[in-house]
Amino acid sequence: MNRFEWVEASTVAQAIAAANADSTFKAGGVDLLDLMKDNIASPKRLVNIRTVEGLGEIGEDERGLHIGPLATLSEIEEHPVIQKQYPAIAEAAFRVATPQIRNMATIGGNLVQRPRCWYFRSEDFPCRKKGGTHCFAQDGENDYHAIFDNRTCAIVHPSGLAVPLVALDAHLEITSKNGKRQVRLEEFFTRPDDDVTRENVIAPGELITNITVPKSDARSAYFKQGEKESFDWPIADVAVALSIEGSRCQKASIVLGAAAPYPYRAKAAESKLTNNEINEETARAAAEQAMANATPLEKNGYKIPIFEAIIRRTILRAAGMNREGAAA
């Protein structure tokens, strides 16, 4: 680990003023410390924002839900408004890691964490994401890698909270010395073909200062499938948001995690639900359509039937039905 300067900030203005091209903001530090130990990140200055006032607040107004980037996953999981009005977000927070990590990890850190691909994390492999010319997962150990958009880089995006937040059309407020800008979360993530070395559009010196989920009547649900029930990374996870009027779905959002290098919108699957009734048949058709264009690697084709099963279940759960398509 490299030597670094430590700067304490108690306001957003102080944090922004202390940032430079060689600095990194530190909140919970769960992922940052691992990156520094592995010599993937070597910041010369850490700006501690953990004590910045106001960045950990959670509230709701006429525009929707507002979550400060320093809100911990435990606080999000337990918040009564999120549990009632935005259950997919609460469920996703609950399914991350262990209680100890959820007490430390922040939602801002969860959104900007780096990939967990073992080739990226190892100093022994100069992969494309680190400036090399080869994706070692293409012909290596790729059991847990992407099944969509995986030809340039086969990582899967590690953020569990991003999956329901994209489904619910969340927006980020990003602050820098130049002021504030608003970014749709779906447009925040960078695809490998656009820039393989990064995962999002945030620039040095920029800080996420608010996350907004627009108020809507959408019903949401989230489902995570891992090898272990407790603290494992997902093999597949899915978030669904449905706007239903009468007996028909007016709008659907289906987002897949652990499927691509970014939270993957299954838009073709969404069209299978729009203007149709939600039942076992339409849910199954949407799930099959979601996997129609998958390009699995040698060892991760098993993900396709898993995704089909949990997409169907999550659609039915969001619609208030059980797995057999009956009202729950």
The pLDDT assigned to 326 comes to 58
Query: Cα(255)–Cα(134) distance, rounded to whole angstroms?
Result: 28
pLDDT digits (tens, 9 = 90+) for 276-296: 999 999 999 999 999 999 999
Share the mean pLDDT of the chain. 95
Backbone angles phi, psi at 8, to 5 degrees: -90, 135
Q: Which band of pLDDT confidence, cut at 50, 70 and 90, is reported for residue 30?
A: confident
Q: Say what the pLDDT of residue 327 is.
A: 59
- Which SS3 state, helix, strand or coil, does residue 145 take? coil
- Single pTM value for the model: 0.96
Neighbours of 239 (CB within 10 A): 30
Confidence (pLDDT) at 285: 98
Rounded-to-integer distance, Cα 159 and Cα 163, Å: 7
Q: Which domains does the chain have, with CATH numbers?
A: 1-53 (3.30.43.10), 58-113+165-214 (3.30.465.10), 219-318 (3.30.390.50)
- Cα–chain-centroid distance for residue 286? 22
Whether residue 20 has pLDDT greater than 80: yes
Q: ∠ CA 99-264-286 to the nearest 5 degrees?
A: 105
Q: What is the pLDDT of residues 84-106, one digit of tens each?
A: 999 999 999 999 999 999 999 99
Query: What is Dmax (Cα atoms) for the chain?
Result: 61
Instruction: Please count the CA atoms within 13 angstroms of the CA of 257 that sit on its side-chain side.
Output: 29
Q: Work out the average pLDDT over 135-150.
A: 98
- For position 247, what pLDDT does the model report? 86
First and final C-alpha spacing in the chain: 52
- In the sheet with 58-61, reading across from the earlier edge strand, the strands are 58-61, 64-67, 207-214, 171-176, 179-184
Higher pLDDT, residue 77 or 28: 77
How far is residue 158's CA from residue 260's CA, in Å, rounded to a whole number? 10
For 214-278, what is the HEC assignment?
A: ECCCCEEEEEEEECCCCCCCEEEEEEEEEEEECCEEEEEEEEEECCCCCCEECHHHHHHHCCCCC
Report pLDDT digits (tens) over 209-263: 999 999 999 999 999 999 877 678 899 999 999 999 998 999 999 999 999 999 9
Sign of the C-alpha dihedral computed for residues 256, 259, 262 and 267 taken in this order: negative
The 219-226 sheet, strands edge to edge: 219-226, 234-245, 248-257, 264-265
From CA 108, how far away is CA 11, in angstroms rounded? 16
Confidence grade of residue 47 (pLDDT, cut at 50, 70, 90): very high
What pLDDT is recorded for position 231? 73
